[in-house]
Structure 1
Amino acid sequence: MSLEYATFGLAPAIRAGGVLANGDYQVHRDFVDFVVDGHPLLFRLSDLDAVSPLAADIPPAIFTAQVHSLLLEADAPLEGGRYIIYGCPECEDLACGAVTAVIERDGDDFVWRDFAWQTEARADLELNGYRGIGPLRFRGDEYRGALTALLDDRSATRRRVLLIGARVAVLARLAAALRTIGIGAEIAHDATGVPAEELRTYGAVAFGRVVGEPERAALRQSFARVGADVAYVDGLAPIVPLLVAQIEHALDRSPVERRRLTHLAATGGAAEIEVTSTCRVRVTLYRQDRLHRVHTREVFDDVLEPGRHRIALDPRTTKGESYVVARTTGSVLAAEVVH
């Protein structure tokens, strides 16, 4: 089989969860994505909402079995030597649809070919094959090295958040929303007396707007003393879906160049968005009036091509204190509307 070599790598990725404008919840998933020739393979599948089999929240034994399967050290789970490359982020049911491919050895190399969208036991390449992807040939040492490294050092992905603030009711609603989408959350006034091992399990700390700088500095020092690398979030407003979006962004530790959504800014008349690959983007506007009532409006929901885009906003809906949240399947950003 004569094919040019593609590089193979792995990188952390997320399926961004959140509280949607219609009140629904979208589950947060951390997973390891496949990086082919320096770019996430998932991005070549346009707007697919899916995760790889190497998800952080599956039991260790199943995670190990998935790695061995990709190394062809176990029988293929599907007919025709096919393996699941990306599956449903909400469940593991093939009926929801999955991207599958044949994985085989060619000498010391590994080859991924015949990519298809599959919902039944047998893939129909004529009807559902991905003709623009593959075959992909990977050097054996590079391929095995990347996957076996996961077994040698599978660092637990931290998906816990510490919430610091004075508005207990808002913090309680925020914690409940985070837990609903699969992110652990605790409420505290400070980190005094918290064991170092527990501090290291947090991926982010979210501050309410009334938390003073001395309290923030003391908490940062507590985490720094134990060598905990956490992201700090300054809450834009006591609006739960907005705060969830900020925390989702903070938990995304993937390199910026490997994210789909890389820029968001807004004025009273427009939102400016930058995406790195073709994807569906949803933009939601949140406005808080003088009585602290929250008004929510879905202002955009469509597929965008790579590049910068300007989304018109109705100035009448952005008066006063307002914010926008832009969301793709793997990225989310929040920004204040600047007047």
Structure 2
Amino acid sequence: MSAAYATFGLAPAMRAGGVLAGGAYQAHRDFVDFVVDGRSLLFRLSDLDAVSPLAADVPPAIFTAQVRALLLEAGAPLPGGRYVVYGCPECADLGCGAVTAVIERDGDDYVWRDFAWQTEERADLNLNGYHGMGPFRFRGEEYRAALRSLLDGTDPRTARRRVLLIGARVALLAKLAAALRTIGIGADIAHDAERVPPEELRGYGAVAFGRAAGPETRAAVRRAFARAGVDVAHVDGLAPIVPLLVAQIEHALDPTPAEGRRLTRLVTADGEAGVEVTSPCRVVLTAHRLDRLHRTHTRALFDGVLEPGHHRIPLDTRAVKGESFVVARTTGSVLVEAMTR
């Protein structure tokens, strides 16, 4: 085992939810990610759709138990001293697969080793081990301080996962609110924010405006949030298309620091998309278009694994003609751009 030390830290992260092509839903999950030597541990696992056990939407007692387990203040949940590091974002069931590791003490140090993909009670390192990953040795003081900070008030459950929807098209806003609630994001509808008490405004992480909301309405809403002393993300709805608006709101609510994101750039112009990623990951591009009769059309454009760097992806010109928009998704983030000519 290497005697070299790795740094240990935590960072807010998100598994982007959304309304996918075909009408399927993907749950939104906020969680705390593990950062080893300044880099997300999840990103070292290539394209894995998973969240850590430190998720924002688990009951407080379970969250606390997960933290104490990682501090080795409780017994390992799996044979061989193994702990779940990342699990299924939809159900957290081991049968769906999970990344596990042996976590142990060595003097005052903590060691994470023998990483494996596990779907049964016992791991098969020869068949499903992440060979070449770890072991990681963390200094005890740094490790304990990071995890105990979650029990001292720096809790991801305090994240504001609600959005205030402002607009004139009540039927559209109702559909949007229902879609957001389905994936795990709270949503409320209002004509303005003048009569919303400040304490309620402080519970929102974003405010989204429909295209019919005029400059005066938008300015008044911004003033109301400013008076309440809360800084929220502002989303200007690109078009009355529910999956597109959900993607815009998901991006606005993303708590992940910019330097910790996989998908960092999306540019759309002249029949192609420019996409930049920081680690190998699956990228899905979807087009949403309004025709001359304001009917909505959705088409998948690209689905593949991209290596780190900038990529130029040709798009089907029929799918992005007229008033159209492109949504780019990875397992952890989502970006939206209007198609320019």
Alignment of 1:195-214 (within 5 A): 195-214=197-216
Gaps in structure 2 of 5+ consecutive residues: none
Pairing 1:116–2:119 present: no
Pairing 1:306–2:313 present: no
Distance in 2, matches of 1:110 and 1:224, equals 45
Given that residues 10 and 146 in structure 2 are in contact (C-alpha distance below 8 angstroms), is that contact kept between their aligned partners in structure 1? yes
Given that residues 268 and 318 in structure 1 are in contact (C-alpha distance below 8 angstroms), is that contact kept between their aligned partners in structure 2? no
Distance in 1, matches of 2:270 and 2:19, equals 24
CA RMSD of aligned residues (A): 1.0
- Structure 1 residues 167, 268: CA separation in 2 closer, same or farther (over 3 Å shift)? farther
Quote the residue 2:217 is aligned against. 215
- Listed one character per residue, the Cα deviations across residues 38-64 of structure 1 (whole Å, up to 9, x for unaligned) are 111000001100000000000111100
Pairing 1:81–2:81 present: yes
Give the match's secondary structure for 1:194. coil
- The Cα shift of 1:7 comes to 0.6
Quote the residue 2:228 is aligned against. 226
Percent identity, please.
75
Quote the residue 1:33 is aligned against. 33
- The Cα shift of 1:195 comes to 2.2
- The Cα shift of 1:228 comes to 1.3
- The Cα shift of 1:5 comes to 0.7
Quote the residue 2:297 is aligned against. 295
- Listed one character per residue, the Cα deviations across residues 20-47 of structure 1 (whole Å, up to 9, x for unaligned) are 0121000000000001111110000011
Distance in 2, matches of 1:15 and 1:2, equals 32
Quote the residue 1:68 is aligned against. 68
Given that residues 3 and 136 in structure 1 are in contact (C-alpha distance below 8 angstroms), is that contact kept between their aligned partners in structure 2? no
Give the match's secondary structure for 1:315. coil
- Listed one character per residue, the Cα deviations across residues 229-252 of structure 1 (whole Å, up to 9, x for unaligned) are 211000110110000000000000
Give the match's secondary structure for 1:101. strand
Given that residues 270 and 340 in structure 2 are in contact (C-alpha distance below 8 angstroms), is that contact kept between their aligned partners in structure 1? yes
Q: TM-score when scaled to structure 1?
A: 0.98
Given that residues 19 and 26 in structure 1 are in contact (C-alpha distance below 8 angstroms), is that contact kept between their aligned partners in structure 2? yes
Quote the residue 1:22 is aligned against. 22
- The Cα shift of 1:197 comes to 2.1
Distance in 2, matches of 1:69 and 1:304, equals 35
Quote the residue 1:179 is aligned against. 181
- Listed one character per residue, the Cα deviations across residues 152-210 of structure 1 (whole Å, up to 9, x for unaligned) are 01251111110001111111111111011111100001112322221111111000112
Given that residues 10 and 35 in structure 1 are in contact (C-alpha distance below 8 angstroms), is that contact kept between their aligned partners in structure 2? yes
Quote the residue 2:151 is aligned against. 151
Distance in 2, matches of 1:129 and 1:33, equals 21
Distance in 1, matches of 2:70 and 2:336, equals 37
- Listed one character per residue, the Cα deviations across residues 123-152 of structure 1 (whole Å, up to 9, x for unaligned) are 000000001211000111110000000110
Q: How many residues align?
A: 339
Pairing 1:254–2:272 present: no
Task: Find the partner of 2:275 among 273, 276, 290.
Answer: 273
- The Cα shift of 1:2 comes to 4.0
Distance in 2, matches of 1:119 and 1:2, equals 28
Matched to 1:18, the amino acid is: G
Choose 77-86 or 215-224, whichever is displaced more: 215-224
Q: TM-score when scaled to structure 2?
A: 0.98
Give the match's secondary structure for 1:238. coil
